[in-house]
Homo-oligomer: A and B are copies of this chain.
Amino acid sequence: MVDESWSPPEVLVTVDLVILTLREASLHVLLVERGVEPYLGERALPGGFLNNAGEGIAEAAARELREEADLDGAQLHLEQLGTYGKPARDPRGRVISVAYLAIAPGLPEPVAGTDAAGAGWEPVEDVLAGRLGLAFDHRQIVADGVERARGKLEHTALATAFCGATFTIAELQQVYEAVWGVELDPRNFYRKVQKVPGFIESAGDERKATKGRPARLFRAGATTVLHPPLVRPDPATEEERQ
């Protein structure tokens, strides 16, 4: 370390949340409208400062999840995404942000946050394409979150976190298609998913769709890591098809 006379600088730490969900078969992220400077009035990720008390970073993330999105961190998938500390990222001074990724099943309607002026789900595509500007470096954080989710869908049962307590295989497929941005063959997907031990388990009864034969219902299984993994189709392979 360094000599005792030197005193290290103190910095402010915020926790920001990338909360993803599926709405109308496309990926959405929860954004709030900032009620204070800086970036007043602009869209930003929900988040806030780390509390004084003996609050761990993960606890702070769960607290913000509760305060700003009214979601229960204990029930949801919540994992650390990364830490962002570029010197000039916050005009207030030396602020670094620890970002967390949360996955929520489809929710009824725009969640009204307690803190933020207004909260609402926005299409991830609009954010990534820059059609919707975000405060700070939050666009980059969203991009990292989506990329993380895409990768984890392959090797973990994360996709079930987008669904409700029970779901059909077609619904599960829509999750993969929306997050990966690809189309999958329903028949191959059907067998493939069921072949992974512990991924999903039957929930007994049936459920009717608006049209066609009713589908079986399933719930998430005990397994969190998928053996074998569900690999997403290689875009390079598509080109070969000519």
Contact = CB atoms under 8 A, between A and B. Distances in A.
A85 interface: yes
Q: Which of A13, A34, A87 has its CB near the most chain B CB atoms (within 10 A)?
A: A13
B80 A83 contact: yes
Interface stretch (A51-59, A103-111, A176-184): A51-59
A83 B50 CA distance: 14
A161 B50 CA distance: 37
Copies in the complex: 2
A36 B83 contact: no
Q: How large is the interface on A (under 10, 10 to 19, 20 to 34, 35 or more residues)?
A: 35 or more
Interface in A71-125: 80, 82-88, 96, 98, 115-116
Interface string A139-159: 000000000000000000000
Given A50-B8, A54-B87, A56-B86, A96 B1 contact: no
Tell me whether chain A's interface is mostly helix, strand or loop, or mixed. loop
Interface string A10-48: 111100000000000000000000111000000000001
Contacts of A11: 10-13, 50
B115 A98 contact: no
A234 interface: yes
A2 B48 contact: yes
A129 interface: no
Given A1-B116, A9-B49, A13-B13, 15 more contacts: A1-B35, A1-B115, A2-B48, A2-B49, A4-B36, A8-B12, A8-B49, A9-B51, A10-B11, A13-B85, A50-B85, A56-B86, A82-B82, A227-B234, A228-B234
27 contacts: A1-B35, A1-B36, A1-B49, A1-B116, A2-B49, A2-B115, A8-B50, A9-B50, A9-B52, A10-B10, A10-B12, A11-B11, A11-B12, A11-B50, A13-B13, A13-B85, A13-B96, A54-B88, A56-B87, A57-B83, A57-B85, A80-B83, A82-B82, A82-B83, A85-B98, A227-B234, A228-B234
